[in-house]
Amino acid sequence: MNLLNPWYLTGLAAVAVPILIHILQRDRIRRIVFPATRFLLGASRNITRTQALRELILLILRATAMFLLALALTRPFFMKADEASAAGGTAGKVAVVVIDTSASMRIGSRMQEARQQALDSIGKYHAHIDRVALMTIDQEARRVVDLTGNLDEVRAAINTLEAGYGGTNLLAGLREADRLLQGDDYKHVGREIVLVSDLQRSGWSQFHGDWRVMPGTDLRVKPVALSAADNVAITQVAIPKSSVVSTRAEPLSLQVVNFGRQERKNVKVTLTIDGAKIDEKFVNLGPGKTEVVRFTYKFEKPGDSAGTIVVDAKDDFPDDNSWFFNVRVLPRVQVLLVNGSPNAAAAKDDGRFVKEALSVPGTPFQVREIGPQAFTAKDLEGCQAVVFANVGSLAEALAGPMKTFIENGGGIMVFPGDRVIADDFNRSFTGLVPCRLKQVCAKDDKSEGWTIGEIELQHPIFQHFTTPQSGDFASAKFSKYFSITDSQAARVLARYIDGPPALLEQGIGKGYSLLFTSSAGMKWNDFCLQGGVFVPFIHESMKYLAVHSEGITAAAVGEALAFGGAKVEVIRPDGEKLKPAPGSAALSAPMPGIYAVKNGDKDEKLAVNIPRAEAEPAMMDGQEMIAAVASDPDGQQKVIEGHKVWVAASNSVRERIEGGQKLGWYLLIALVVLLFAEHVLANNTSRR
């Protein structure tokens, strides 16, 4: 038996109280012999003997009551051997050591410090008595050593650990460690999670306050290298994943940040494509400053063009000084034009100007025009983009094939017109366009029509127009357009001068849908007559819609690779064949670089980079993390602002065991029963 409050054993001295009272209050009888009473002596002895027995029983009951009261206050409980050692705090513990091996741990000596912190942490455990497991964490948790009493095995595994290139998900590591400790064998054993990490704040972004460690599990956080790193990093790039063969130079830009405290002058940034050095720039980076570097390149050859951008800066984290990219260049884009108002007169033909814009000399587009009545699902085969010009409705049988076409990476662009009735259009195109049409807005005087007042220049369609003398959208006048509704899921890319949407976009599966709220011909506007704007706008729109059907060209380390082909062979930058990670059927890239991909009969490339959040210097405080996930050992939950949270408390393993057995309460119940019996017996025992 074990006692939670052993100091209450001093209360056992109270057992002597009823004994002392009994001794001190005994009747003191003087013996006087009367001859006449000799006949009564026999009866008197029997009565005295019964009285003495009752008083003895009362004495025992009262002494036992004092004993039970003192024992109940000590809160006794029974434990097994492993429970006793755990409650004693010296042996029988189970612990999971979680070591951060994400890319940020490659900075400076962080990984070396992490190994030492982990070795120091397991020094408190006892071989063959305690059990320790080892896990690593980057974007997901991996179990390296299962719970074992062989601490030398754990030490050996720690000494072999190296930082990888993946992102950080600290919550995943804590969850997996907590799950490992939830076995019934460890219910009453001391449990600990030891987290060794640089505590990068970006690695805690998955935590939303709705999870806590299991009650009774202690979390210890061992931070490493909390001092700021001297680091220059490429944090963002604007490089197209796919493009179309063109003689026009594409912009390639990147953002470089100096996270260090010293100024860096004339930092060289080099662009290399397909093994050839293309250009280099020089940039000055002050402490904590960000600079944008821009290159241009003409993608004139179809196929994959793989390249790198390298910032020449010696710092604590050289791995984030490079950015790998791959641009998949399409030779020709197959465009299907569904023209709802073909006419010999150009002014009445809504599809003519789209077709002519896509058919200028040197264009990478191949256009096929059909009417809406002749349009069938077979026409979608081999197309990357479909343009609907003044088409009021679609055959019901086309709804499914069109949805599948977009979801698989195809794109559509819709221009309404005078043949479009809003209700009929909405029924036919529901689920295919970003919004529903409402009504036509018109101005009587075409010369006073609306203009485009706002465009999203960062979008790929409009990036071409950011350079000087690349066209002015305000030159076009719009006398009619459709107002729209139900556009909450859409992204507005352009607006008229007074605010209503002109161009909307919505992603559907892997593909995209665009809707321009005015016509593509001359009936509602003169946009099609502004060749310096209309032609590049149509070209960039078709490129944007087409490139999403060409599969993945870039990924982050650790990200699942969703190739379209059934038989895909991937060769890593080090020449080894990429295989699925243990326990997973999906392929994921373990290191940055350019991967060679054999996708069916296609030879492709894949650019893989370190997650750029790994370069961010913001760190967490270990106590902040502990406070966020610590739980009440009794498992008490409350709902605060819609989230289930554990209410903080602190009970030991011994308290949990005693609380589960409740021996003290049983002793108190026995005490009440005993006092009732004493009361009844005392009322039937006379002292006279």
Encode pLDDT of 343-387 as tens digits.
Answer: 999 999 999 999 999 998 878 899 999 999 999 999 999 899 999
335 secondary structure, DSSP code: E
Looking at mean pLDDT, say which of 240-249, 266-275, 601-610, 623-632 comes out highest.
Answer: 266-275
Alpha-carbon distance of 453 to 420, in angstroms, equals 25
Alpha-carbon distance of 667 to 674, in angstroms, equals 10
Q: Residue 9: is its pLDDT beyond 80?
A: no
228 secondary structure, DSSP code: P
Q: What domains lie within the chain, and their CATH numbers?
A: 2-74+667-683 (no CATH), 83-226+619-651 (3.40.50.410), 232-330+552-614 (2.60.40.10), 333-547 (3.40.50.880)
Query: What pLDDT sits at residue 89?
Result: 43
Query: What pLDDT sits at residue 90?
Result: 40
Alpha-carbon distance of 459 to 527, in angstroms, equals 20
Alpha-carbon distance of 410 to 511, in angstroms, equals 5
Helix, strand, coil shares, percent, the chain, to 5: 30, 30, 40
343-354, pLDDT tens digit by residue? 999 999 999 999
Pick the more confident residue, 399 or 8: 399
Q: Residue 323: is its pLDDT beyond 60?
A: yes
275 secondary structure, DSSP code: T
Q: Residue 581: is its pLDDT beyond 80?
A: no
Q: How confident is the model at residue 91 (pLDDT cuts 50, 70, 90)?
A: very low
Q: What is the mean pLDDT of residues 630-656?
A: 47
Q: How confident is the model at residue 583 (pLDDT cuts 50, 70, 90)?
A: low
Q: How confident is the model at residue 248 (pLDDT cuts 50, 70, 90)?
A: confident
Query: What pLDDT sits at residue 501?
Result: 96
Give the HSE-up count for residue 559: Cα atoms under 13 Å, Cβ half-sphere.
16
The residue behind tokens 């964490």 is 137
Query: What pLDDT sits at residue 5?
Result: 72
Alpha-carbon distance of 569 to 354, in angstroms, equals 40
Q: How confident is the model at residue 550 (pLDDT cuts 50, 70, 90)?
A: low
Q: What is the mean pLDDT of residues 643-667?
A: 57
Say if strands 303-312 and 322-330 run parallel, antiparallel, or are unpaired.
antiparallel
Beta strands in 58-126 (DSSP E): 76-77, 94-100
Candidates 430, 412, 405, 386; CA nearest to 512 is 412
Query: What pLDDT sits at residue 319?
Result: 94
Q: Residue 259: is its pLDDT beyond 70?
A: yes
Quick one: CA dihedral 58, 60, 61, 65, positive or negative? Answer: positive
Query: What pLDDT sits at residue 421?
Result: 96
Maximum distance among all Cα pairs of the chain, rounded to whole angstroms: 156
Amino acid identity of 673? V
Pick from 79-83, 283-287, 597-601: least confident: 79-83
Cα three-residue angle 527-532-537, rounded to 5 degrees: 65
Query: What pLDDT sits at residue 196?
Result: 96
Query: What pLDDT sits at residue 307?
Result: 96
Does residue 293 contact residue 269 with C-beta atoms inside 8 Å? Answer: yes
Q: How confident is the model at residue 597 (pLDDT cuts 50, 70, 90)?
A: very high
Enumerate residues 6+ apart whose C-beta is below 8 A from 47: none
Query: What pLDDT sits at residue 87?
Result: 47
Enumerate residues 6+ apart whose C-beta is below 8 A from 226: 198, 199, 619
Q: How confident is the model at residue 647 (pLDDT cuts 50, 70, 90)?
A: very low
- The rounded mean pLDDT for the chain is 85
Q: How confident is the model at residue 568 (pLDDT cuts 50, 70, 90)?
A: confident
Contacts by residues 86-92 (CB-CB < 8 Å, ≥ 24 positions apart)? 86/188, 86/189, 86/190, 86/653, 87/2, 87/188, 87/190, 87/652, 87/653, 87/654, 87/657, 89/190, 90/126, 91/126, 91/129, 91/130, 92/129, 92/130, 92/189, 92/190
Query: What pLDDT sits at residue 634?
Result: 46
CA gyration radius for the chain?
A: 41
Query: What pLDDT sits at residue 560?
Result: 86
Q: What is the mean pLDDT of residues 23-38?
A: 58
Query: What pLDDT sits at residue 67?
Result: 79
Q: Residue 155: is its pLDDT beyond 90?
A: yes
pTM of the entire predicted model = 0.66
Q: How confident is the model at residue 3 (pLDDT cuts 50, 70, 90)?
A: confident
Looking at mean pLDDT, say which of 238-247, 422-431, 642-651 comes out highest.
Answer: 422-431
Q: What is the mean pLDDT of residues 201-221?
A: 88
Query: What pLDDT sits at residue 600?
Result: 80
Q: Residue 21: is its pLDDT beyond 80?
A: no
408-438, pLDDT tens digit by residue? 889 999 999 999 999 999 999 999 999 999 9
Query: What pLDDT sits at residue 26?
Result: 60
Query: What pLDDT sits at residue 243?
Result: 81
Does residue 309 contact residue 237 with C-beta atoms inside 8 Å? Answer: yes
Looking at mean pLDDT, say which of 62-66, 301-305, 307-311 comes out highest.
Answer: 307-311
Enumerate residues 6+ apart whose C-beta is below 8 A from 276: none
